[in-house]
Amino acid sequence: MAKEQNTSFQDVVSHCKKLGFIYQSSEIYGGLSAVYDYGPYGILLKNNIKQYWWKSMVQMNENIVGLDAAIFMDPKVWKASGHVDAFSDPLVDNKDSNKRYRADTLIEDYIESKIQKKIDKDVAKAAKKFGEAFDKAEFLATNGRILDRQKKIDEILNRMNTALNSGDLTDVRQLIIDLDIACPVSGSRNWTEVRQFNLMFSTQGGGATSDDKLYLRPETAQGIFVNFLNVLNTSRQKIPFGIAQIGKAFRNEIVARQFIFRMREFEQMEMQFFVRPGQQQEFYQKWKEARMKWHLALGTSPDKLRFHDHETLAHYADAALDIEFQFPFGFKELEGVHSRTDFDLKAHQEHSGKKLQYFDPELDESYVPCVVETSIGCDRMFLAMMSNAYQIDEAPDSKGVLKERVVLRLHPAIAPIKCAVLPLVKKDEALTKKAREIFDTIKYSFECQYDEKDAVGRRYRRQDELGTPYCITIDEQTIEDNTVTIRERDSMKQERISVSEIEKIVSERVDMRNLLKQL
Ligand code: GAP
């Protein structure tokens, strides 16, 4: 069996760029920071992820309908939602380097580099010393030095969260000073005051007066809330029901790093589920489990996914969690599931003066529904899938010698190209003619690629790097008996099948229904 090697985040980023999955925006001008473009293979993978999400929501649930709201909305929407007053990050500048940082990120980075790293080192040392008998959970729960370090982390986070939640920015600055945090660029501790910086981008409307200030939406959810009545009155839905939407969102992130993990322009896939007040906890649990199932169906190992309950809740939420994925740089938020109570609809009701209520025939009364939200970044999901799929193993070359192979083990249903059609040699016109014929027949059913350049072994490698689950090879025998070989990406096993079976076999194996049936 082929040996797998460890891969780094840098490998994944380079692969995305090299293979045409993702490019930096405006690259020929030096590149716009934290904004990215999707290339020929990236757009196919991204569309497949979106399609999987959309089908799992709108197609699979009779009581979920879709929406595509505009990016621009009445600015009063953002006042009502709280984004104008409170959608901000705490910033601090270093006076010597003139570099700007998110205060909470500086503190979190301190924890990571000064304390957590020591814990990880101790764990690695103990694991080496005790070998198979090592019980990590027990070690973390009982080792005195680790407990002291963990206590210190908890104290720091507690103080930071209390200060941030109460708006005590002076204490956030004091914490930076108490921890003796230095600017990574200048090395000095010469910090400005900490202040809040609103993350919304704004622009001017047609009239170009200050009253015409328009915001680029920082989340898609508000487009759903303000259309609650429209959808209710036109879709014949009854509570409980949901509205799903995929669309662009914009945030002026100060710390934009880790490639497409944190971007200034990104895409969200959000679903707001409207329920009877009092039933939100039940649906929160339901959606929490449903969303984890959605991730697991893609073949991601359960070890790489976990729930993280929010310790401190936003003022409008009565429960909230993240689904975290183990990115190459650690477990980080991939998706949020939030029980947002009736806060959003009530806020829009108050600011718009329109009643946003539902008449419940079973109860014979009207109420403002509560909302359970699932919210995932499409780009972040893309990065999770690329990080999960990118592997280096070994494969025999034409002489049977094991050579390193880069392979993207994407689930076939989301792979950009489903099937490559390869004549064994380019020179043989009978083979290329037959291969073209096959390509022209099967291209109606799924995304295919015809490739005749280079030796067939190199072409297999190229398809492995793109994550193509199947390669069809047309050889001498094809001309004699109308059969081809079909090669499977992960096992590299080849089978001989008849030309007439190709379309059916590949269609069945790459069918998105295979994912949906697991939900
Ligand atoms: N409506 C709720 C909401 O927007 P959020 O936790 O701010 O909640 C939801 O965002 C998801 O959107 C995150 O879990 C993440 O996947 C994605 N996301 C948020 N900010 C992002 C950014 N700057 N770049 C890429 N994805 C982002």
The DSSP line for 36-73 is EEE-HHHHHHHHHHHHHHHIIIIIT-TTEEEE---S--
Residue 207 — very low, low, confident or very high, per pLDDT cuts 50/70/90?
low
Cβ-proximal residues to 108 (8 Å cutoff; 6+ apart), any chain: none
Structure confidence by residue, pLDDT tens digits, 321-344: 999 999 999 999 999 999 999 999
Identify the pLDDT of residue 241.
98
Residue whose Cα lies nearest atom 15 of ligand 1: it is: 377
Mean pLDDT, range 401-408, rounded to an integer? 93
Residue 206 — very low, low, confident or very high, per pLDDT cuts 50/70/90?
confident
* Secondary structure E strands in 378-459: 390-396, 402-408, 419-423, 448-450
φ, ψ of residue 48 to 5 degrees: the values are -70, -40
Rounded CA-CA distance 91/86 in Å is 14
Considering the chain, what is the average pLDDT of its residues? 94
Burial environment of residue 359 by CB neighbours within 10 A (0 to 12, 13 to 18, 19 or more): exposed
Identify the pLDDT of residue 6.
60
Is position 72 annotated in a ligand binding site? no
Residue whose Cα lies nearest atom 17 of ligand 1: it is: 377
Mean pLDDT, range 91-112, rounded to an integer? 93
Q: Give the residue, out of 308, 324, 375, 381, with the most ligand 1 atoms within 8 A of its beta carbon, to mutate for a pocket test.
A: 375
Rounded CA-CA distance 499/329 in Å is 45
Identify the pLDDT of residue 209.
56
Residue whose Cα lies nearest atom 19 of ligand 1: it is: 377
Residue whose Cα lies nearest atom 7 of ligand 1: it is: 219
CATH topology assigned to domain 1-75+199-401: BirA Bifunctional Protein; domain 2 (3.30.930)
How far does residue 379's CA lie from ligand 1's centre (Å)?
10
How far does residue 377's CA lie from ligand 1's centre (Å)?
5
Q: At residue 433, does pLDDT exceed 80?
A: yes
Class of domain 412-516 (CATH, top level):
alpha beta
Is position 264 annotated in a ligand binding site? yes
How far does residue 45's CA lie from ligand 1's centre (Å)?
19
Q: At residue 210, does pLDDT exceed 60?
A: no
Is position 378 annotated in a ligand binding site? yes
Residue whose Cα lies nearest atom 16 of ligand 1: it is: 377
Cβ-proximal residues to 60 (8 Å cutoff; 6+ apart), any chain: 516, 519
Q: Where are the domains of the chain?
A: 1-75+199-401, 88-196, 412-516
Is position 376 annotated in a ligand binding site? yes
Q: At residue 467, does pLDDT exceed 50?
A: yes
Residue whose Cα lies nearest atom 18 of ligand 1: it is: 377
Identify the pLDDT of residue 165.
84
Is position 257 annotated in a ligand binding site? no
Q: At residue 208, does pLDDT exceed 80?
A: no
Is position 334 annotated in a ligand binding site? yes
How far does residue 327's CA lie from ligand 1's centre (Å)?
16
Ligand 1 atom closest to the CA of 219, numbered from 1: 4
Structure confidence by residue, pLDDT tens digits, 55-84: 999 999 999 999 999 999 999 999 999 999
Domain 1-75+199-401 and domain 412-516, same fold? Reply is no
How far does residue 56's CA lie from ligand 1's centre (Å)?
20
The DSSP line for 312-376 is S--TT-SEEEEEEEEETTEEEEEEEEEE-TTHHHHHHHHHH-----EEETTTTEEEPPEEEEEEE
Cα angle at 288 between 285 and 292, to 5 degrees?
145
Ligand 1 atom closest to the CA of 268, numbered from 1: 12
Q: At residue 7, does pLDDT exceed 80?
A: no
How far does residue 486's CA lie from ligand 1's centre (Å)?
40
> What tokens were used for 339?
């029980």
Question: Pocket residues for ligand 1 (CB within 6 Å)?
Answer: 219, 221, 251, 253, 262-263, 266, 268, 270, 333-336, 373, 375-377, 379-380
> What tokens were used for 337?
């599931």
**Long-range contacts for 40-44 (Cβ within 8 Å, ≥24 apart)?**
41/416, 41/417, 41/466, 42/16, 42/382, 42/416, 44/416, 44/417, 44/447
Is position 252 annotated in a ligand binding site? yes
Rounded CA-CA distance 381/396 in Å is 32
Q: At residue 437, does pLDDT exceed 50?
A: yes
Is position 404 annotated in a ligand binding site? no
- Length of the chain, please? 519
How far does residue 376's CA lie from ligand 1's centre (Å)?
6
Is position 270 annotated in a ligand binding site? yes
CATH topology assigned to domain 88-196: Herpes Virus-1 (3.30.40)
Report which of residues 255 and 229 the model is more confident about: 229
Q: Give the residue, out of 267, 268, 307, with the most ligand 1 atoms within 8 A of its beta carbon, to mutate for a pocket test.
A: 268
> What tokens were used for 392?
């280096």
Q: Give the residue, out of 380, 381, 383, 385, with the most ligand 1 atoms within 8 A of its beta carbon, to mutate for a pocket test.
A: 380
Residue 1 — very low, low, confident or very high, per pLDDT cuts 50/70/90?
very low
Question: What proportion of the chain, given as a percentage, has pLDDT over 70?
Answer: 98
Mean pLDDT, range 145-173, rounded to an integer? 94
Is position 102 annotated in a ligand binding site? yes
Structure confidence by residue, pLDDT tens digits, 241-268: 999 999 999 999 987 778 999 999 999 9
Pairing of strands 448-450, 419-423: parallel
Q: At residue 170, does pLDDT exceed 90?
A: yes
Identify the pLDDT of residue 293.
98
